[in-house]
Structure 1
Amino acid sequence: MKTPVQHDNKMMEAMHAMMQEMSNASLHGDPDNHFARMMQLHHAGALNMGNLVLEHNGDPAMAEMVKTMMQKQKEEIAALQLFLNNHRPMPHTEHAGFNTEMKKVMDNMDLLAEQENLTGDPDQDFATLMVHHHQAAIEMADLVIGHGADPAIKKMAGMIKTDQEAEIQWLQKWLNERRGIH
């Protein structure tokens, strides 16, 4: 159940908008194609959330991290689009197990985000939600690494996973410092 803060929370609204986009996306295609399209939408959601942090003009360290993250994700969106432009999946190449697992990852991210007690502070809420957001990206990357066929998309998934793991560590450290946890 949403708390009043979460209901009117711009960061949560951006997260929900991303989830809606991902839910509406076609699940047709092989795991490589599916991953590339879903990760584009996932990154676009992170960009929208990051813009809320930058508009807020709060913690300078958070703003710098967000700018760095956004630059990487813009580059990855472009690379994913290039992959999609050049990778035409054969008809009937869907992988039902992959699609089911991808949906579970998204549903879990949404569930965990809904359970968070958001504050209304864009920096704090971004960090809190982005931990779950990035964890979902890591799980998506693991899925395509395990089920995909294209070496280039598997390599990109590995790089996304590495970047997101490092960002989660940074975000958790930032959150812990604000909570007085060392």
Structure 2
Amino acid sequence: MNCLPIIVKRTTCLLGLILTVATTGSIAQSNQLTDSSKTSKAAHQPLKINLLPPMQQMITKMKKAKVTGDPDIDFANQARLHTLGTQDLLKAILKAQSDSTLTQTAKTMLATIVTDLTTLGNLRSTLKPTRPNSAFAKQQGRVIAAMSEKIKQSASSYKLTQNPDENIIILLTDQRQDAINLATSYLEFGRNVELRNFAQQLVEKAKLDLDIIKNVRSASK
């Protein structure tokens, strides 16, 4: 009995099976690597890429703004730039993030910011220069320098996270606290009654925003 044809046939079948398994394994491995690569890319794209530019542009303008030494004029100018930066940040949040409690909070804050900008515009048009105050100029300079440092930290790899919502919370918290610091610094030196009222209201609203942000963070945990 000649077994050679049977052996050849079985060998051919076995080779075919090996090739099929190897090909299937290669395809699966390739798909796995592709999926892994996509996951890895997604994991290394934190939301800070979308949210930092408005803040960086804001602080650049604030640092370049002309300093007169007049507390009312300088605060009004810097508060406007800071409020515009907050507006741009909120718009970026709404563009980058899907509908959620956090975005609803951003929408509410944005409406308030628009009102603040109108109020500031009206106040700035009525201000007249007074004697420069070097102590105020130095203090406001320190407040702006602290803002700049926070933004630099946000651009680093250790402050923001891979969690988009958490990044929004971090940046909004910084921005609202900076508004408080800017206004509080002015209130020690400012003389314009209407502008002082605006600054005091700004502090109160920013504190309420911080409480809301804190509650959103607690609810998300």
TM-score (normalizing by structure 2): 0.71
How many angstroms does 1:6 deviate by?
A: 7.4
Higher relative contact order (CA 8 A, sep 6+): 1
Residues in 1 aligned to 2:214 and 2:48: alpha-carbon distance in whole angstroms: 24
Aligned residues: 174
Residues in 2 aligned to 1:136 and 1:54: alpha-carbon distance in whole angstroms: 21
1:118 aligned to which of 149, 160, 166: 160
Q: Identify the residue that residue 180 of structure 2 maps to in structure 1.
A: 138
Q: Which moved more, 1:34-43 or 1:139-148?
A: 139-148
Q: Which amino acid is 1:73 matched to?
A: I
Question: CA-to-partner distance for each residue in 1:121-160, whole Å, 9 max, x for gaps?
Answer: 6543232112111111111111221100011111110100
Q: Which amino acid is 2:210 matched to?
A: I
1:58 aligned to which of 87, 90, 98: 98
How many angstroms does 1:47 deviate by?
A: 0.7
Identity among equivalent positions (%) equals 20
1:99 aligned to which of 137, 140, 146: 137
**Matches of residues 1-182 of structure 1 in structure 2 within 5 Å?**
9-90=49-130, 93-116=131-154, 117-119=159-161, 123-178=165-220, 180=221
Q: Decide which structure has the larger Cα Rg and report it.
A: 2
TM-score (normalizing by structure 1): 0.85
How many angstroms does 1:79 deviate by?
A: 1.0
Residues in 2 aligned to 1:29 and 1:84: alpha-carbon distance in whole angstroms: 15
Residues in 1 aligned to 2:187 and 2:136: alpha-carbon distance in whole angstroms: 11
Structure 2: gaps (5+ residues): 1-43
Residues in 2 aligned to 1:149 and 1:139: alpha-carbon distance in whole angstroms: 18
Q: Which amino acid is 1:110 matched to?
A: S
Structure 1: gaps (5+ residues): none
